[in-house]
Amino acid sequence: MFFRLCVKLEVMKFIELDLKPQLLQALKKMNYIELTPIQEQTFPHILEGRDLLATAETGSGKTSACSIPLVQNIDAAQTEIQALILVPTRELALQYVEEIDRIVGTLDVKPFAIYGGFSMDIQKAKLRDNVHILVATPGRLIDMIYSGYITLSSVSTLVLDEADEMLKLGFLDDINFIFSCLIHKHQTLLFSATMPDAVKKLTKTYLHEPVVIELNVNQIAPQSLEHHFSLVKHSARFDFLMDYIQREKINQAIVFCNSRHSGQKLFSQLKGKVKSLEIIHGGLEQSKRTSIIRRFRRHGIDIMVATDLAGRGLDFVKVSHIINYDFPQNPETYTHRTGRAARMGRSGIALTLVSSHDLRLLKRLFRMNHIEPVWLGKEPDWESISRQRKAHSHKKWKNPHKPGQYHKRK
């Protein structure tokens, strides 16, 4: 049975919640005054021990919505792992631990993250030191389970964050195995930005009478985000970008490219022309990536060239601009890239450079993401483009396999 909640409540303050004094003190220090809608609607059910499925726009505060009630429910006197949070990437795992560390304040609650690409021996040593909340990527967690360094027998809450991304990355078998290790009664919380059929199936399999919370289901992108687009020839993109950076008031910006090669090329072109510049992609050492993300969060970097490694789940509160230097490969990628700005109700701008080859995909993007575009410069002549497409679809092409014969292009 599902209990669906979509009603918007009045804004609630953290001081109105029956939280531990040390936790309230830490939240005050973090300037967490009012609950976001996702926090307000999830907190009571998490604290009550209910299973929960929550979907909300990116940047809505899902990390805190999960972390704060988990910290509240931890019994620090116990030495076992009481909460397990599964995430798809190392970067998101580290972000979770940093957020929980801040939330914990003076409480004796210990979070820790395990993930691939880092020494298992160091992680094993840390696990001997009483971890209460474990954040993990599925592969490394299973390695630890097989080696006997982790037992899940005391886990009372299992969290699947970015569930849609985990399934997209092929972690379904790993998730099924991890659930098979939790044979005792426990609470399951599933957070997802979107709700594909695979996530629905996972929910039916493992969640027991979950509360289902859907916020802004028709508003995929943050409402405080302005979507700017500019029609630019592929060869003129760099000059356009330089002019835009120089004239626009940018606090911090992430410039997205579709590949490591494209990003490295752009980084080389920008180097020496832009102050406080860095690049991040999956080919860098984990320690280097972690250092760049931390410096960016602390505003030690103004402009970061990135592949989609930085487009999912990471929280950068000072980012004012997202620039899609390469056109996103699908609407979902656009959503997660642009969700790095305008987080938690802050204002922001997403600029996408569009070539004539991208226009067909752009129409689909507007429709699926409910975007009202703001054009910088001339807007495309959509009627002319539509006529050309229709004429092109009826054009006959030579059949290369049968000389002299023609067939209609499908």
Q: Which domain holds residue 12?
A: 3-214
pLDDT (0 to 100) of residue 57: 65
Helix (H) or strand (E) run with residue 177 in it: helix 172-180
67 belongs to a structural domain? yes
pLDDT above 70: percentage of residues in the chain: 85
Q: Convert the pLDDT of each residue in 2-59 to its tens digit.
A: 544 444 446 788 988 889 999 999 999 998 888 888 888 899 899 999 999 998 766 6
pLDDT (0 to 100) of residue 58: 61
Domain check: are 74 and 158 in the same one? yes
267 belongs to a structural domain? yes
What's this model's pTM, rounded to 2 decimal places?
0.69
pLDDT (0 to 100) of residue 360: 81
pLDDT (0 to 100) of residue 6: 46
pLDDT (0 to 100) of residue 275: 86
Domain check: are 293 and 172 in the same one? no
Domain stop point among 189, 214, 239 = 214
Tell me the mean pLDDT in the region 212-229: 72
pLDDT (0 to 100) of residue 397: 40
Q: What is the CATH number of the domain that holds 340?
A: 3.40.50.300
The span from the CA of 324 to the CA of 352, in Å, is: 5
The span from the CA of 100 to the CA of 274, in Å, is: 34
Tell me the mean pLDDT in the region 233-237: 93
- Name the band, by pLDDT with cuts 50, 70 and 90, for residue 410: very low
Domain check: are 236 and 192 in the same one? no
pLDDT over threshold 70, residue 231: yes
pLDDT above 90: percentage of residues in the chain: 49
407 belongs to a structural domain? no
Q: Convert the pLDDT of each residue in 167-189 to its tens digit.
A: 888 999 999 999 999 989 999 99
pLDDT (0 to 100) of residue 390: 58
Pick from 163, 353, 356: which is nearest to 258 by CA?
A: 353
Domain stop point among 184, 214, 244 = 214
pLDDT (0 to 100) of residue 381: 74
Domain check: are 242 and 116 in the same one? no
Tell me the mean pLDDT in the region 220-232: 80
Domain stop point among 168, 188, 214 = 214
pLDDT over threshold 80, residue 197: yes
Domain check: are 51 and 20 in the same one? yes
- Name the band, by pLDDT with cuts 50, 70 and 90, for residue 138: very high
pLDDT (0 to 100) of residue 34: 87
Yes or no: say if 325 and 353 are a contact pair by the CB < 8 Å rule. Answer: yes
220 belongs to a structural domain? no
Domain check: are 86 and 127 in the same one? yes
Tell me the mean pLDDT in the region 329-355: 81
Q: Higher pLDDT residue, 42 or 346?
A: 42
Lowest mean pLDDT of 92-96, 136-140, 220-224, 391-395, name the range. Answer: 391-395
The span from the CA of 305 to the CA of 277, in Å, is: 8
400 belongs to a structural domain? no
pLDDT (0 to 100) of residue 62: 78
Q: Convert the pLDDT of each residue in 373-394 to its tens digit.
A: 999 988 887 766 666 555 555 4
271 belongs to a structural domain? yes
What b/e string do you get for 347-376 counting C-beta neighbours within 10 Å, with b at 16 or more?
ebbbbbbbbeebbebbeebeeebebeeeee
pLDDT (0 to 100) of residue 406: 42
Pick from 152, 139, 58, 136: which is nearest to 94 by CA?
A: 136
Domain check: are 184 and 289 in the same one? no
403 belongs to a structural domain? no
Domain check: are 161 and 52 in the same one? yes
State the total domains in the chain.
Answer: 2
Domain check: are 206 and 229 in the same one? no
Q: Residues near 294 by Cβ (< 8 Å), separated by ≥ 6?
A: none
Q: Convert the pLDDT of each residue in 271-282 to its tens digit.
A: 999 989 999 988
Domain check: are 243 and 209 in the same one? no
Q: Convert the pLDDT of each residue in 257-267 to its tens digit.
A: 999 999 999 99
For 266, other C-beta atoms within 10 Å of its C-beta total: 20
pLDDT (0 to 100) of residue 7: 44
Domain check: are 19 and 44 in the same one? yes
pLDDT over threshold 50, residue 228: yes
390 belongs to a structural domain? no
pLDDT over threshold 60, residue 331: yes
Domain check: are 235 and 353 in the same one? yes
